[in-house]
């Protein structure tokens, strides 16, 4: 009689997601102000092309009006005025959002701030404020990045900003942040 072979199932070792980045720092009103100012400047830079279009429209409106081509001049003027109105409305909206974020932060934390821990583990991005869970998102929720003097900031969906202080890495470094989402333009 043949002895039946007992085969033990071969276990494949679980791949552990290694934490790529951990940043821990005390987040205060002053630091939030820097992040919000950098966000506003980053957003303003996006309007440079719109400003250039406005200037071109203004130039052609002036030029075409002087040669009696009124239809084209009116069209350029309307486009230029529309662009200018959009720029002004956006600047006002950005400043309102920035000031509201600063006021809300100050009111919520009474000017004392909180201990902020941000971990990036594989495709997961998590933040903790004074030990309590905050943001829990995936890598594909990142819409963009920008930097200030002291921060590298991930722009997340829902207009959330996730700042990592450049000198507060417990694990990883600023280069890891820059290469985390290489397909995004900064």
Strand pairing class (169-171; 19-27): antiparallel
C-alpha closest to that of 129 among 26, 5, 2: 26
pLDDT tens digits for 29-75? 889 989 999 988 888 887 777 778 777 877 777 776 665 677 777 77
Regions of the chain where pLDDT drops below 70: 1-19, 64-68, 182-186
Helix (H) or strand (E) holding 105: helix 70-109
* CA pair distance 65, 33, nearest whole angstrom: 46
């Amino acid at each position: 009689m043949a002895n039946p072979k007992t085969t033990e199932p071969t276990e494949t070792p679980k791949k552990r997601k290694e934490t790529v980045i951990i940043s821990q720092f005390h987040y205060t009103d002053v630091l939030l102000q820097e992040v919000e100012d950098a966000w506003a400047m980053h957003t303003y830079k996006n309007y440079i092309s719109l400003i250039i279009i406005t200037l071109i429209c203004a130039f052609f409106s002036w030029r075409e009006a002087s040669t009696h081509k009124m239809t084209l001049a009116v069209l350029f003027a309307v486009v230029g005025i529309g662009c200018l109105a959009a720029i002004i409305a956006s600047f006002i909206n950005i400043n309102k959002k920035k000031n509201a974020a600063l006021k809300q932060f100050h009111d919520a934390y009474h000017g004392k701030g909180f201990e902020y821990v941000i971990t990036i583990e594989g495709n997961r991005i998590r933040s903790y404020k004074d030990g309590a869970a905050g943001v829990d998102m995936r890598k594909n929720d990142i819409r963009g990045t920008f930097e200030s003097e002291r921060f590298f900031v991930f722009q997340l969906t829902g207009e959330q900003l996730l700042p990592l202080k450049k000198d507060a890495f417990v694990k990883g470094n600023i280069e890891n942040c820059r290469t985390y989402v290489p397909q995004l333009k900064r």
